[in-house]
Chains A and B, each alone.
Chain A
Amino acid sequence: MGEHTIKLPDVGEGVAEAELVEWHVKVGDIVREDSVLGAVMTDKATVEIPSPVEGEVLWLGAEIGDTVAVGSPIIRLKVEGEGNAKPIDKLEDQPGELKPAEPKAKLATPAKAAEEAIDPPPHSGGGGPHSGGGGVARTAPTPSFTGAPRTAGEKALASPAVRLAAKEAGVDLRQVTGTGPAGRITHEDLDAFIARGPQAASRAAATGLQPDTSVTEIKVVGLRRKIAEKMAKAKQRIPHITYVEEIDVTALEDLRASLNKAKRADQPKLTILPFLMRALVKAVKEQPALNATFDDDAGVIHQSGGVHIGMAAQTRNGLVVATVKHAEARDLWDCGAEVNRLAEAAKAGSATREELSGSTITITSLGAIGGIVTTPVINYPEVAIVGVNKIAIRPMWDGTAFQPRKMMNLSCGFDHRVIDGWDAAVFVQRLKTLLETPAMIFVG
């Protein structure tokens, strides 16, 4: 029997370290060749780590949330034959000795004791690749309370040993709900009560309603941490200006319906997004300052010729921004097809790092859910973001009468450091014109 050490593979160009977001195995598990051992996350993408050999897991070298340098040993397997671990390696690789990454790069909390086993997260159905880990919940099992609520002041039903333990812990047992027979308070009930904190009151007696004072600790790791960092950066650095305008999309919706009705089988069903993308392309040609990234550290704005439209997409782990590259070079159908493809890839977690980066202006749409106004956060280091709100039929005054019109608000955010309010207004008004008279998107 030998040991086989698996090191964090090179997970992408220019990537020196990655965050461990999932373990699919724990110490003692038997893994086959090509079984997924875990997953790491780079800036954008999640990469699974397959096992190159068959063996038994002896040691896991990182905790979920740890940042691991490429080339660091992350797992050791007991394998048939010699394995790849030299005796000297073993010494170096002792748990506790090992530093998964450079100390300065170690963003995560320090590795806890190795024996704190991490259960593999449940596999989602469908057999598709796992997207990067979002929140990793660690909850104490919440017992279900079956005991009949006691009336106020009634003596608590508990064995003498439980009473003593409660006294020692300073717990008034009348506050504790018992799950045992006849509402008897068990040692487990007391432990759970103490774990929940002291203020779990007994209002239940009167109302049957239980205050839930439990706090679930969720480590902010993986994508969620990326989102948190990015949002904080955007809000810290960018003084946002928000501009909201209503757009009459009656004509646009008619056109969209006609096109979808007449589309070929190989063409995608069009949403409003491809139209908006084409309108954006047209608008930013006139105001290139809006299609840019602002390197505020260097004090340089990179105005982009290509219009790379970021598209905020909700995945099960959180928000990602997939990029429709070179929208200026795509027609309406192409934009639509790319939007659909990227949305699916993002949801499945299979979008590549490249597909999840490189945007120069972003569209965010919560329209499907509702809402009349949003204050979208700019996708740093971009300078503008266009938020799409829900289409609703509203009575609009046409000069002589109210007409039912399909109205949609655009809630747009701009980096006020580099975009003046005037420019923002002109830009949104231009979008309004284009979208209200959709022929203008395609002509001229």
Chain B
Amino acid sequence: MKKDMTCKLLVIGAGPGGYVAAIRAGQLGIDTVIVEAKKAGGTCLNVGCIPSKALIHAAEEYEKVVHYAEGKGPLGISLTAPKLDMAKTIAWKDDIVRRLNNGVAGLLKKAKVPVVHGWARFKDGKTVEVETETGPQIVRAEHVIIATGSAPVELPFMPFGGNVISSTEALALKTLPATMAVVGGGYIGLELGIAFAKLGTKVTVVEAESRILPQYDAELTRPVAKRLADLGVTVLTGVKAKGVTSKGDALRIETASGDEQKIEADKILVTVGRKPLTEGWGLEELDLDRAGKFIKIDDQCRTSMRGVYAIGDVTGEPMLAPRAMAQGEMVAEIVAGNKRSWDKRCVPAICFTDPEIVTVGLSPDEARKVSPEVKIGIFPFTANGRAMTMLAEEGFVRVVARADNHLVLGIQAVGQGISEMAAAFGLAIEMGARLEDITGTIHAHPTQGEGFHEACLKALGHALHI
């Protein structure tokens, strides 16, 4: 038995929430220990945001040159048919992940936070036993942060394994599947589905709802639907996945009319959501209050047990890394004795499809619930010079503001490369900008950002370029 460790703060899970909490705690001089069973960085860095973006970028680049090789591009560029070395692509992606793993480990070291590698299990609210490679390690702490994250949801009638894969396996495929069925037309399924389609896979997306990306309004998703069609992706909506054929080479579905069909697929990617990781680490010992399947927290991320905090995906929607990071930072500061509480106005969300979708703050429908009257301004990229020069005319910026005082409540945009504009959108809302604040700000020309400016002008009734 190893000698017991004691610390002031113990962080369970070194994902974006956990490692940020640990780094911040270290900066604040809190004696902190972090436990991680896999590699530092969590889902986001290892099997989520980062590797998917690497794959998406590679796919984008590849699709572009294929497009040119086919002589379809208007830019006057021609070349011979490109080839894809999938193994090399994945190796490049793995290298990025490795560099970031090392980066996080380095940051933790710099913050003087030791990492205990292994699977943690609560013995009580202040004591954790970690199964390390070299034996069990007891860690006792005054404060504990649960940052165990989430995992892909599995469909009971077609569990992961064989050709049925989750996003994690999809990001590690060494060879490109010729066909792929994507179950679930949410953002993960579409991000990966589009990437594989661009790499050359014949992709079919199966969505139970009547349209893809059902959490967004139809206006926002229309450009994505259009692009899916252009890329030759088959989208079947109102369709239920029923299982896999016995040979495992096709997805069985039930159409809206009740017919059963088969979709040939080398790989069946199931992306029907993510669930909080609340099992296997002794949560039952703690008997923490739940909010649905999530751990219930208050505005300081406190659970129902004193001294036990929870952050990130395990605590609820939106299951997004920046929320977890902000929670982690906040809890570290609370443990250090500072007064903090969750006071964010928005958590920006990005769907890295083609084109990308950004939503910050309230949608028009949500805004109408809090404000009796709203002003909405939409500016299409067809009227944006920079978008034209990048073949990025698809999409728009939409701003939602209160009609009475022009306070910006929400901003949505869809367009190529629009994700980078999330920073401006988030800042506008957190700072409490009015439409006039945006229109009174000079936006550099020529940029897609001018679309934000123009959308606000439009909401005020005097757009200049439309």
Contacts and interface: CB of A to CB of B under 8 A. Distances in A.
Central interface residue in B340, B405, B437, by most chain A CB within 10 Å: B405
A398 interface: no
Contacts of A157: 407, 432
A159 B434 contact: no
B431 A170 contact: no
Contacts of B405: 148, 181-183
A170 B407 contact: no
B404 A159 contact: no
Given A158-B432, A181-B405, A167 B437 contact: no
Interface in A152-198: 155, 157-160, 163, 167-168, 170, 180-184
A195 to B, nearest CB: 19
B343 interface: yes
B24 interface: no
A184 B407 CA distance: 9
A227 B436 CA distance: 56
B345 A155 contact: yes
A183 B432 CA distance: 9
Contact of B338 (A148, A160, A168, A181): A168
B341 interface: yes
A122 to B, nearest CB: 38
Interface in B343-365: 343, 345
A180 B432 contact: yes
Given A155-B345, A157-B407, A167 B339 contact: yes
B406 interface: yes
Contacts of A160: 343, 430-431
Nearest to A185: B432
Contact of B404 (A148, A155, A180, A184): A148
A180 B437 CA distance: 12
Nearest to A181: B434
B402 interface: yes
Contact of B406 (A170, A180, A182): A182
Contacts of B431: 159-160
Interface string B416-448: 000000000000001110101100000000000
A170 B339 contact: yes
Given A158-B432, A159-B430, A159-B431, A182 B339 contact: no
A158 B432 CA distance: 6
Nearest to B408: A182
A182 B338 CA distance: 30
A181 B436 CA distance: 9
A45 B437 CA distance: 58
A86 B431 CA distance: 59
Contact of B340 (A148, A158, A167, A184): A167
B432 A182 contact: yes
Nearest to A180: B432
Given A182-B402, A182-B405, A182-B406, A163 B432 contact: no
A160 B329 CA distance: 14
B345 A184 contact: no
Contacts of A167: 339-341, 343
A181 B341 contact: no
Contacts, number: 34
B375 to A, nearest CB: 13
Contact of B437 (A148, A170, A181): A181
Interface in B382-421: 402, 404-407
A168 B339 contact: yes
A212 to B, nearest CB: 24
Contact of B343 (A163, A168, A170, A184): A163
Contacts of A168: 338-339
Contacts of B430: 159-160
B399 to A, nearest CB: 14
Interface in A139-157: 148, 155, 157
Nearest to A154: B370
A159 B433 CA distance: 9
Contacts of B436: 181
B371 to A, nearest CB: 11
A182 B340 contact: no
A336 to B, nearest CB: 65
A183 B405 CA distance: 9
B213 to A, nearest CB: 27
Contacts of A155: 345
Nearest to A169: B339
Contacts of A181: 405, 432, 434, 436-437
Nearest to B430: A160
Nearest to A166: B343
B339 to A, nearest CB: 5
Nearest to A156: B343
Nearest to A167: B339
B276 to A, nearest CB: 26
A166 to B, nearest CB: 9
Contacts of B339: 167-168, 170
A182 B407 contact: yes
A182 B434 CA distance: 7
Interface string B93-116: 000000000000000000000000
B425 to A, nearest CB: 15
Nearest to B344: A160
Nearest to A158: B432
Contacts of B340: 167
Interface string B435-463: 01100000000000000000000000000
A182 B403 CA distance: 11
A157 B428 CA distance: 12
A181 B345 CA distance: 17
B457 to A, nearest CB: 17
B432 A184 contact: yes
Interface string B133-170: 00000000000000000000000000000000000000
Contacts of A158: 432
A429 B406 CA distance: 76
Nearest to A151: B370
Nearest to A168: B339
Interface in B319-341: 338-341
A238 B416 CA distance: 91
Central interface residue in A148, A168, A170, A184, by most chain B CB within 10 Å: A184
A167 to B, nearest CB: 5
Nearest to A148: B405
A159 B341 contact: no
Contacts of A183: 405
A170 B338 CA distance: 11
Contacts of A170: 339
A14 to B, nearest CB: 61
Contacts of B345: 155
A168 B340 CA distance: 8
Contacts of B402: 182
A184 B431 CA distance: 9
A158 B433 CA distance: 10
25 contacts: A148-B404, A148-B405, A155-B345, A157-B407, A158-B432, A159-B430, A159-B431, A159-B432, A160-B430, A160-B431, A167-B339, A167-B340, A167-B341, A168-B338, A170-B339, A181-B434, A181-B436, A181-B437, A182-B405, A182-B406, A182-B407, A182-B432, A182-B434, A183-B405, A184-B432
Given A182-B407, A182-B434, 17 more contacts: A148-B405, A155-B345, A157-B407, A160-B343, A160-B430, A160-B431, A163-B343, A167-B339, A167-B340, A167-B343, A168-B339, A170-B339, A181-B405, A181-B437, A182-B402, A182-B432, A183-B405
The 4 closest A-B pairs by CB, nearest first: A182-B405, A182-B407, A184-B432, A157-B432
Interface of B: 338-341, 343, 345, 402, 404-407, 430-432, 434, 436-437
